[in-house]
Amino acid sequence: MRGPHNIWRLIRTGATFQRTGAMGAALDAMNAPARVRAAARLLGWPFAWLGYPGDPDLPPITRALTALGPAYIKFGQILSTRADVVGVEMAGHLRMLQDRLPPFPDEIARAQIEQDLGAPVSTLFSEFSPPVAAASIAQVHRARRADTGAEVAVKVLRPDILADFRRDLDAFHLAASLIEFLSPASRRLRPLDVVGHFESVVLGELDLRLEAASASEFAENTRGDEELAVPRPHWDLSGRRVLTSDWAEGIPMADVAAIRAAGHDTSRIAARLLQLFLSHALRDGFFHADMHQGNLRVAANGDIIAFDFGIMGEIDEYTRRVYAEILYGFIQRDYHRVARVHFEAGYVPSDRNIAQFARALRAVGEPIFDADASRISMANLLAYLFEVTERFGMATRTELILLQRTMVVVEGVTRTLDPQINIWATARPVVETYIRSNLGPRALLRDGLRVIEALGRHGPLLPEVVDRQLDRLSRPQPAPVVVERRNPGWLITTILIAIGAAIGAFLA
């Protein structure tokens, strides 16, 4: 239930960060000025006693996020992939949020399976292990089907997880409302829309039948992709709170030392992961949108195993073409082309100067091309990118938030495997293939045929449409009302996509 009572939740959030020491750790990670740290200590210490104590055996940030609940843990999972932003030590602490949280009791999991599937666990499975992994929303058990003997993974939602998420989301909505009220300048970032988008994604993740459908569709789309394995769902042993799928044996993507010890080329795996993500986003418009290390493994043959399809992203065909053109423009260092595409797509308001925007893009892109990846400052680049988005009035595009977030995560994962990965060389073949297939003469011919097909389908309706239009035009028209129009924009925009070396796989 949304309302002022959520102010208490926000106060406890700040107090928990203060009590656990997470506030200081976060400010240290961001290299906050000394006066900011002093102010945080001064304002925070009187309320620290109101915060949740958390597990004192955990590092401060992890302790605070786990105490606050699943929505905060989701945020920590994203940060865990960005050692270049939060620091290697903090990223290592946050990695436990991916799949090493405390599990809930085995008897509760068994009761949920029996209630959802209508039969005792002993009847459905000949073997059923204790939890082998536990994250913010669910935990996983290793099992064996009683009928076929196939080894499977059984994912079970945490009890009361929906109520926990709704409590956090209500507080987030209030925080976004307060931000918009107190800071009109923040409205271009659309905090309320961003929280609403996050809410829709999370609530969809809490129905495992939808995850099974996403896993099935993703497996079909990628069945021809080399070096990728996707466990398939077992529909007869799945329900709203239980998902059974193929068991996939592999080394966790976070264990880089073990991957290398097994003889795998981590640089090749990093490049392949990046190319697969780009292929799925561009070619299919349907991509895995939660690709942190906890959802990725490396098989014995070197294949990348992807699982946990609770959060998936979709991009329509037009947006994919715009995205590809922007990305290709960056690869070619054609900043005027990138700027023109932004204006044509409405990502930048039409009253801004296109030449100035192109120069701003050049200031973002040029330092990255020839720089050693280890010397690129993500914090500095992020600060400049936010300056650019504010200067040119670009607003948040909520429909692209998942793509933006996933690019950050994927780039972070690839850098743990290969800190010196050449983003441009890796991306180029995928982008060029898409450009040839979708922006050349063949694409124009294909688009023309689609228009003809559409006219053929709707041809019988055309006379009626023409008659209605002529009748409308023949009537007296009221005086026109002048309405100011503002083109939609995108806060981080797909330019930030292209600058994968800087902020995400191709987030910029």
Summarised one tens digit per residue, pLDDT across range 237-285 is 999 999 999 999 999 998 999 999 999 999 999 999 999 998 999 899 9
DSSP per-residue codes, 437-494: HHSSHHHHHHHHHHHHHHHHHHGGGHHHHHHHHHHHHHSPPPPPPP--------SSHH
Helix and strand element counts for the chain (H, E): 24, 10
In this predicted structure, what is the pLDDT of residue 455? 65
Sheet holding 151-157, edge to edge: 125-134, 138-145, 151-157, 242-246
Give the number of other Cβ atoms within 10 Å of residue 36's Cβ.
11
CA distance 151 to 126: 10
Told to judge if 255 belongs to the known catalytic residues of this protein, a careful annotator would answer: no
Can you tell me the mean pLDDT for 444-460?
Answer: 67
Helix orientation angle between 208-221 and 191-205, rounded to the nearest 10 degrees: 90
CA distance 468 to 19: 68
DSSP per-residue codes, 201-259: HHHHHT-HHHHHHHHHHHHHHTTT-TTEE-PPB-GGG--SSEEEEE----EETT-HHHH
Distances in whole angstroms, Cα of residue 384 to Cα of each of 366, 390, 450, 492: 13, 10, 42, 11
CA distance 124 to 127: 9
8-state DSSP, 100: B
CA distance 134 to 149: 24
What mean pLDDT, rounded, does the chain reach? 80
Give the number of other Cβ atoms within 10 Å of residue 196's Cβ.
16
SS3 of 65-82: HHHHCHHHHHHHHHHCCC
8-state DSSP, 130: E
Instruction: Among 136-150, 251-265, 376-390, name the one with the lowest average pLDDT.
Output: 376-390
Read off the pLDDT band of 303 (50, 70, 90). very high
CA distance 334 to 319: 20
- Of 451, 322, 328, nearest in space to 399 by CA: 322
Q: With 90 as the cut, is the pLDDT of residue 232 above it?
A: yes
Q: With 70 as the cut, is the pLDDT of residue 180 above it?
A: yes
Give the domains, in start order, of the chain with CATH numbers.
Answer: 6-99 (no CATH), 106-135+137-160+206-313 (1.10.510.10), 315-436+489-498 (no CATH)
| Collapsed DSSP state (helix, strand, coil) of residue 274 | helix
Q: Of the listed 290, 303, 308, 418, which one is catalytic?
A: 290
Q: With 60 as the cut, is the pLDDT of residue 506 above it?
A: no
Find residue 229's DSSP bridge partners: 305
The structure tokens listed for 75 are: 């945020």
Read off the pLDDT band of 376 (50, 70, 90). low
Within its chain, how far is the Cα of 53 from the centroid? 30
In this predicted structure, what is the pLDDT of residue 297? 96
In this predicted structure, what is the pLDDT of residue 48? 80
In this predicted structure, what is the pLDDT of residue 60? 87
- How many residues would you count in the chain? 508
C-beta of residue 474 within 8 angstroms of C-beta of residue 305: no
- Of 370, 330, 347, nearest in space to 506 by CA: 330
Q: Between 226 and 344, whose confidence is greater?
A: 226
CA distance 116 to 119: 8
Q: With 80 as the cut, is the pLDDT of residue 117 above it?
A: yes
The structure tokens listed for 332 are: 């070619």
In this predicted structure, what is the pLDDT of residue 399? 60
CA distance 419 to 350: 39
Q: With 50 as the cut, is the pLDDT of residue 403 above it?
A: yes
Mention every residue, 6+ apart, whose C-beta is less than 8 A from residue 487.
346, 347, 348, 349, 350
Q: Between 459 and 409, whose confidence is greater?
A: 409
pTM assigned to the model: 0.74
Instruction: Among 82-96, 112-126, 173-187, name the one with the lowest average pLDDT.
Output: 82-96
Q: Which of 69-73, 163-167, 410-414 has the highest mean pLDDT?
A: 410-414
Find residue 100's DSSP bridge partners: 134
Summarised one tens digit per residue, pLDDT across range 9-40 is 778 888 888 888 888 777 776 666 677 667 76
Within its chain, how far is the Cα of 359 from the centroid? 29
